[in-house]
């Protein structure tokens, strides 16, 4: 059973994960978001994955249909519905880690080769910041601050994988791993808020 605060925390983290997949941030994870996100993952793959060719189109589609488009293959899903689905999916304690691991390991194949994973390549501060700028437009100074504050040294691709699994499966607020990726991607919430405020401000100006 979830405690209220833990449930809130997991939902907030899942919402950030959904935002990573909702490229245009309109609250619906659509086929266009899939294509935009895949393009970003391909760029990351060229930079960090030691691979020039992207994951095959079939494997890409398979991941999205299996893990994201829960209304059926190729059907859009609202971010909120996806978060609800994931919350339920992560409910059985004994299954959580295994389920998140499967989802994230397959997602990592968009970016990293088995070779890179096997060699457990180390990623420095600069790589880390670049990764988040490309994937989620996270401000470089924010990524750097979080890297120094929350991530281990040396930071390897396996640590990264583990942290993404914790993002989706762990709900303990004070657990170090639960917070790592979240500390970076909560910046997306901030961007969305900023965008909302700017729109609200513009609408107000128009009235005068
Ligand atoms: Ca969208």
The Å distance, Cα 22 to ligand 1 centre, comes to: 5
The mean pLDDT of 2-10, rounded to a whole number, is: 81
Whole-number percent of the chain with pLDDT over 70: 99
- Output the pLDDT for position 2: 55
Please say if the pLDDT value at position 79 is more than 60: yes
- Output the pLDDT for position 192: 73
The mean pLDDT of 131-152, rounded to a whole number, is: 94
Grade residue 90 by pLDDT with cuts at 50, 70 and 90: very high
Residue 63 tokens read as: 């991941």
pTM of the model: 0.90
The Å distance, Cα 136 to ligand 1 centre, comes to: 13
d(CA 109, CA 107): 5
- Across 27-31, 102-106, 177-181, 192-196, least confident range: 192-196
The Å distance, Cα 24 to ligand 1 centre, comes to: 5
How many Cα atoms occupy the beta-carbon half-sphere of 135 within 13 Å? 26
Residue listed under structure tokens 């309109």: 26
The mean pLDDT of 149-169, rounded to a whole number, is: 95
Please state which CATH class domain 2-206 belongs to. Answer: mainly alpha
CB 131 within 8 A of CB 48: yes
The Å distance, Cα 88 to ligand 1 centre, comes to: 22
């Amino acid at each position: 059973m979830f405690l209220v605060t833990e449930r809130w925390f997991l939902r907030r983290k899942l919402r950030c994960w959904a935002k990573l997949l909702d490229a245009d941030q309109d609250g619906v994870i659509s086929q266009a978001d899939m294509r935009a996100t895949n393009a970003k993952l391909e760029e990351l793959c060229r930079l960090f994955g030691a691979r020039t060719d992207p994951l095959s189109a079939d494997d890409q589609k398979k991941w999205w249909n299996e893990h994201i488009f829960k209304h059926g293959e190729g059907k859009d899903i609202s971010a909120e519905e996806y978060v609800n689905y994931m919350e339920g999916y992560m409910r059985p304690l004994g299954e959580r880690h295994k389920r998140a691991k499967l989802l994230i390991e397959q997602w990592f194949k968009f970016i990293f080769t088995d070779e890179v994973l096997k060699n457990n390549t180390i990623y420095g501060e600069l790589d880390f910041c670049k990764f988040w700028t490309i994937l989620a437009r996270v401000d470089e100074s924010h990524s750097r601050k979080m890297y120094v504050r929350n991530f281990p040294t040396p930071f390897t691709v396996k640590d990264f994988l583990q942290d993404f699994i914790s993002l989706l499966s762990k709900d303990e607020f004070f657990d170090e791993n639960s917070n790592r990726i979240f500390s970076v991607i909560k910046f997306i919430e901030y961007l969305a808020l900023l965008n909302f405020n700017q729109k609200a401000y513009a609408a107000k100006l128009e009235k005068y």
